[in-house]
Every structure is written in C-alpha cells, then in structure tokens.
Amino acid sequence: MASTPRRAWHLDLLAILVFACLALWQVSPVLDAFSSRALGHPGNDVWNHVWGYAFVADSLAEGRLPLHTDQLLWPTGGSLWFIDTLGAVLTLPVQWSAGPIAAYNTTYLVNFMLAGAGAYLLAHQVSNSRAGALLAGVAFQTTPHLLGQAYNGISESMAVGWLPLTLMAFRWAAAAPSIRRGLVAGLLGGVCALANWYYGLFAGMALVGLLVRSTVRHLRGRNTITSQGMGMVLAGAAMTAAVVAGPFLAFRHTMAAADAIVVRDPGFVWSTLVLHNMTDVMSLITPGKVYSPDLKALFGEDLIVVVYLGHALLWPALAVLLTRLRSQAASWTWLATGFGVLTLGPFLFIGGDYVQVLDGWLPLPFLALYEGFPMFSRVSHAYRFVIGLSLALCVLLAIGVRWMRARGWPVWMIVLLGGGLRITEVFYGSPAVFPLPAVDATVPAALASLKGGAVLDLPVGVPVLARSRYGLAQLVHKQPSPYGLNDPVPEAVSANRFTRYLVDLEWSNVASLPEQMPWMDLELGRRAAVADGLRWIVLHEESLPSRNFARMSQFLDIMATPVHHDDGLRIYRLDPDSGGKEQRL
C-alpha cells in the first residue's frame, strides 16, 4: 500500500510530460528560431503583443509602471494598459536574457502546457479517473478556439490554464472550508482575472454557480452552509479583490484618460459585438474551414474566429448523461449549458444571419446580462465563452471515462483511441489552422540606425493589425511613432499639411505630381513636423503599388534628404533647414 502514492505521482508526472510534448509540437514552427521568429499570422495581433512585452519590460527596468508610453501617438504619447501585462511580467527573465520575441513565444509554450495540466488536475479532482483526466487535458489543450487565438497572435487569450486551476481551488475550498483555503482560491481567482479579464469573469460565474448549488442543497437538507464556509467565501472574495483591484483601476484609468491609446466606448463595444463578432450556431458543430464570422470575407481581415467544439469531444462528453453518473455530471452539464448559451451572444445567429422574430432579432440571455451588469457591458467577444463550454465538456468527458473504466474498458484503448481521434480531428479537420504560422521578426539594419527623432512609416493605408509591424522596428531604433494600436490615420499625421499630403499621395490615382502644388503650405507643415520632433520617413516599397511609391518618392526627394534605398526601404531624413529647396517653392 505504501507504493500506491508514488505510483500515482509517477502517473501525474507522465501526464505532465504528455502535455509538455504536445505543447512543443504546437509551437514547433518557432523552436529552431525562438528569439527571431514569432508564432502567429503576421497580419494579425502578433506585433502589437510583441511590442507590448517590450513596453512592460522597459518600463519596469526604468522603475516606472507600464501605464504610459511616449513611443506611440507621437508627439504626445498616451496612456496604455497592455492587455497581456501578466504574461509579460511572468516572462521577464526570458525577455531580459533573450528578448521580447522569445518571451512572447515562451508564453505560448507555457500556456499550452498549462491548459492541459490545469484541465487534467480539475478533471481528476472531479472524476477521480487519471485516464479520464488525461483525455480531458489533451482535449482542452487542443481546443480549436485556443489554436485560433494562437493563429491571431492574441497572447493573453492563451492563458486558459488559470481557469481550471481556479475552479479546482474553489471546489477544494468548498469541500473543507477554511480561511486558508479561501485565500488560496481567491489568489488563484485574482491571477486568473489578471491573465485575462474574460477568464476572471468566467471563474466568477462558476463560483456563483457553486454557491447557488450549495444553497439549494442546504435548503433541501442535503448539506449545511457553516459560518466557516461563509468565512471561506468572504476570504476568497477579499483576496481576489486585493489582487485585482489595483490593476483593474489602472486598466480603467488608461481607457478613460484623455490621451487613451485604446478606447472602448459603449457604442464601439455594441457594434463590435453584433456586427463583427457574431457566433453562428452552425460553426460550433461544423468541421472544415468554417469561421464565425468569416472576417476575411466580410472585412478583409486575417483574423479567424474559431468556436468549433469537435465531435470527438462533444458526443462522448454528452454520453455521460446516459449513464448512472449523470447525477455527478449534473453541475457540469448546467455549466456547459450556461456557457454554451452565452457563447451565442445577444441574438440568435444561424446559417449566416440573425433569426428574425416580430420585426426584430431573437434575443438571448446574454442581452439581459449585457444590459443589467456592468462587467457584461464591456464584453465585445461573446464567442470567447466557448472556453468555459469546452472546459465543462472536458470534465464531462473525464466522468464518462470513469464509467468506461468501471466496465472494464482498457486504459490504453481509451487514451490512445480518444486522444488520437481528438488530435486528428482538431489539427486536421477543424477550422483551426495547424501547423500554426510563424513569421520572421528580423529588422533591416538600416532601421536600427534611425536616431534623434520620431519615425513615420508609410504607407498608412494597410490593415491596422498588419501595420503594427512598424512597431517591431521601433523596438530596435527606439524612436517614437505617430501610430497607436487601432487608429486608421493618426491625428498627428492628418492634422499636419505636409504629412497629410503624403497620405493623399499614397491614396491618389494620379500618375505623377500635379503641376501646381501648395509648396508654401507644405514647407510650413514640414517645418512644424520637424519642430515637433519628426526626423525620419520610411517608405516600405513592398506595401505600395509601384506608381504610388514612385510618386511619393518624387515628392520626398524635393522635401527631404534621401539617405537609404535598399532592403525594400527608402528612408528620408527631415532636416530643420530644407537645404536650399525653398528656391523650388
């Protein structure tokens, strides 16, 4: 009997090894160039997040909080809470030794593994089946939505592993209430919220469900809510508040500031929720490259929205409701149902359109929560609730495996068949892209030499997320940029006559410069830009039609000093004195 615990720990370590190997496979496109190749599609959020990692590290190294930057929105700078601040802080040792690309990639590697391990620990706590927990961990680590977020380069969405760990702590504290357990559960809940505000909300909803279940059982005389139990709840709430309060207030302050770089006004959130981030019911169960919505087709964006559940998870998980263990699975069934309904958003969307009822869209429970609770009024991506749904299904799967083991099914058959079907379906038959894309993060040497003033990269009229690659060069030359994170044309560029004319030339279809040009206004605008600190203009030739590139170069040859033309770049220096070119005006 003494050897049983050691054997159990060996099995746990074996499971963790499985998740680690699976994570290495998932990030394999960057393993041979961990510090110079970033995971994700280059037209999405990759560069914004890499930039954010460097922003956090540089701010802390300089002894200040990462709440304001002068590197964006030249000449004023702006207030900013980087959405993956926790990931950036946790990977500081990697960044200080190997750079922001390595830190960013490390986040993916660790969070993939943490997703599997967290689901494994929760599922084992619920089902007491290691085989079931192992399958649950593999299923959660390969959640198609998670792979879709990795494709999009949204690093904070990868932190799903904190959610099952938090739920496990809640259940652990509820099983034997104590102040200590309450504080531990609250601490994990706070970390979960800091990792991703959505996941903190999901954990809070699950806690409410746990309390409701306990109350119902108490009223039925099945258990007793003790003062110690209430003390546990209060201690956990206090710990969560202590962990989250400061960062959350800072987050809200940066978004409400007059110089906010990221703004989330109610109108924007609502329009994004119902016109950009709709969840099609069919996309939950339809294999193949079916996205909800198809942002490429609708808006020309490279982001993909994946909510596919996978039949290798869905039906085995629901099959537990046909067994004698359905009473044990009841709470997780209700949790899956709740998250599933919320995944659909405020109105029912099926087959590419909203369902019409009485001259309006058919409302769903999400709408009442959105209108009634402040936290929900900030939710612009309802489809992210699919993470809670997927986790609940993974736990149901583990309970089902426990039933199979009780009937003599061999472990090897359950694990190999179940895991193999899940991985094959998700990696090769779901809307998720696998292998994940990876993009080279090297910067031409000429950009590293830009010193002494702000840098304006052109063209401005490329997709906003793809344009964020300009921020990658900024990590090398360290000079301010007029761009923010989601503004089509920066105010500093559109307000200045000289820089605005460059944008007009970029968008114009005229073959050459007009014969008559407002040279005096342009020169005054150029001098004003130089006085504000603009020093360099970089034309990215590959992003411009040849005719537009020639026209903009012709104009800048008059107004600035060309210093470089190679590597697909044409770089100009803006001097305080235009060098005698006033004679051409």
Given a cut of 90, is residue 224 above it in pLDDT? no
- Distances from the Cα of 341 to the Cα of 119, 144, 188, 271, 479, angstroms: 22, 18, 26, 20, 47
Given a cut of 80, is residue 214 above it in pLDDT? no
Surface-to-core class of residue 211, CB atoms within 10 Å of its CB (0-12 exposed, 13-18 middle, 19+ buried): middle
Given a cut of 80, is residue 199 above it in pLDDT? yes
pLDDT of residue 205: 92
User: 459 — alpha (psi -120 to 50), left (phi > 0) or beta?
Assistant: beta
pLDDT-derived band at 1 (thresholds 50, 70, 90) equals very low
Write out the DSSP string of 20-47.
HHHHHHHTGGGGGGTTTEEES-TTTTHH
Residue type, 459: P
pLDDT of residue 102: 98
pLDDT of residue 6: 52
Q: Round the average pLDDT of the chain to a whole number and report it.
A: 91
What tokens does 45 get?
């959020």
The pLDDT tens digits for 226-241 are 566 666 777 777 888 8
Residues in the chain: 585
Averaged pLDDT, 47-51:
96
The pLDDT tens digits for 73-111 are 999 999 999 999 999 999 999 999 999 999 999 999 999
What tokens does 335 get?
């949790």
